Chains A and B, each alone.
Chain A
Amino acid sequence: MWGNNDQSFGGGGFLTSQGYESPQTGDKSKGRRSQNIMPVTCKQLLECEEDTYKVEGFEAHVVTLVGLVRSVETSTTKVSMFIEDQTGTMECVNYGGTDGDASSDPTLLAEGTYGRVVGALRNPKNQKYVIIFKSAPVTDMNEVTCHILEVIQNRMKLKKLREGDAQKAATSFTGGENTFTNSMLAGGLPTGTGGGGSASASGGVGHIAGFTANQNMVHRIICNAREESGIHKDQIIAAVKNKIAQKEIMEILDFLSNEGHVFSTVDDDHFKSTDSQYM
């Protein structure tokens, strides 16, 4: 019958089924998802309630810890390093084990020294540990100071992002872009209908080349929408109230959806961005 030893792909237009896999239903099915890495403390990981660590509602896909290597335990199946960072101790695991000769494994850190671990939180049967993607000794103690500060800054920044969401969508994450939105407003500025927006490019500030300031603003708002169903056009109108005329908003939405940057969800008035991190 088909495909046993048959290497010929011609004939009736059928491909012999060699590994014709159905799409993975796991992580990849939702399309592109941005991955982030966050500096954390052991205590934050130990105390977080779910299996994933979240800060201000933002999920951390990958975490990084800096701490003292308290003990290293090797077995044939895995290597466990216990990292203590003054807030608590976290088990960090490298599966793959050793051949029995611990000294030949370059990823092992020395006990009693400071190390950095980059990995992901796992919580099977309520026993938390971090699976290690990368471990390295700390070669400069200033890295410890830096990590302390990064952990705090991470939370503050995310809290600020969350609070600034719908209200101040024009404010860039990286700051310093406030001024352009005011100067580009108030009539006269051609909208980017039909993809022609690049002519009035906002000086390269828009984070996707070719968007005008207004298009960028609307796109940003849609990107920040958290719900599964995206954001309703009335919410967009409210968020940019007085800055962009309603008619222009509709034109921008048309443009964005024609270009494939946004799509409609539960009905024609709900929009979601293809670039969003909140898939």
Chain B
Amino acid sequence: MADEHVSPHRARVNGAFLHQYHGKPVCLLGTIIRADGGGTSFQVKASDGNQINVRLRSPISEPLTGLVEVYGIGQGKNLVVADSFTTFPDSLGNNFEMNTYNEAVKLLHSVEGNLNPWIPT
């Protein structure tokens, strides 16, 4: 497999866990609260309700809404510097159970290492 297809192991986080991954790759799934002017950042409501700021490396032209998954590096308690993100159409986002996902994220962080392939070692 060529190198361009290698991706980092990102931890799925919500607001509460973000600070544990300062400087490390994270994956944040949440809903867009608002996009800031200039298109370089937006705010996301994480699965536990916390508000997280997302800073983009290059600005986006269209306003984003709905369910979004952000991939980037965690910074402190409420910032993610994004490498990329995925938006989902309303058809996928509307039925998504955020509470259940949040429970799954909490579970991911509580199950010990070798039983749990989701958390980066």
Seen from chain A, the residues whose Cβ lies within 8 Å of a Cβ on chain B are 40-41, 43-44, 68, 70-71, 82, 84, 86-89, 91, 112-114, 127-129, 138-142, 144-145, 148-149, 151-152, 155-156, 159
A236–B20 alpha-carbon span in the complex (Å): 50
Additional A-B contact list (9), CB under 8 Å, known A140-B95, A155-B117: A41-B117, A41-B118, A43-B117, A86-B10, A87-B118, A88-B6, A89-B7, A129-B1, A141-B96
Q: Which residue of A lies closest to B9 (CB)?
A: A87
0/1 string, B80-121, CB within 8 A of A gives 1: 000000101000110111001100100110010001111010
Residues of A within 8 A of B104 (CB): 145, 148-149
Contact between chains at B115 and A86 (CB < 8 Å): no
A-contacting residues, B4-18, CB 8 Å: 5-7, 9-12
Seen from chain B, the residues whose Cβ lies within 8 Å of a Cβ on chain A are 1, 5-7, 9-12, 27, 67, 69, 71, 86, 88, 92-93, 95-97, 100-101, 104, 107-108, 111, 115-118, 120
A270–B101 alpha-carbon span in the complex (Å): 49
Q: Which residue of B lies closest to A68 (CB)?
A: B86
Cβ distance B108 to chain A, nearest Cβ, rounded Å:
7
Contact between chains at A149 and B9 (CB < 8 Å): no
A139–B96 alpha-carbon span in the complex (Å): 11
Contact between chains at B88 and A141 (CB < 8 Å): yes
Cβ distance A87 to chain B, nearest Cβ, rounded Å:
5
Which listed residue (B1, B95, B117) contacts A44, Cβ 8 A? Answer: B117
Contact between chains at A71 and B5 (CB < 8 Å): yes
Q: Which residue of A lies closest to B111 (CB)?
A: A152
Give 5 A-B contacts (CB < 8 Å), ordered by A residue: A86-B12, A86-B71, A141-B67, A142-B97, A152-B107
Residues of B within 8 A of A142 (CB): 95-97, 100-101
Residues of A within 8 A of B111 (CB): 152, 156
A209–B119 alpha-carbon span in the complex (Å): 44
Q: Which residue of A lies closest to B100 (CB)?
A: A145
Q: Which residue of B lies closest to A128 (CB)?
A: B1
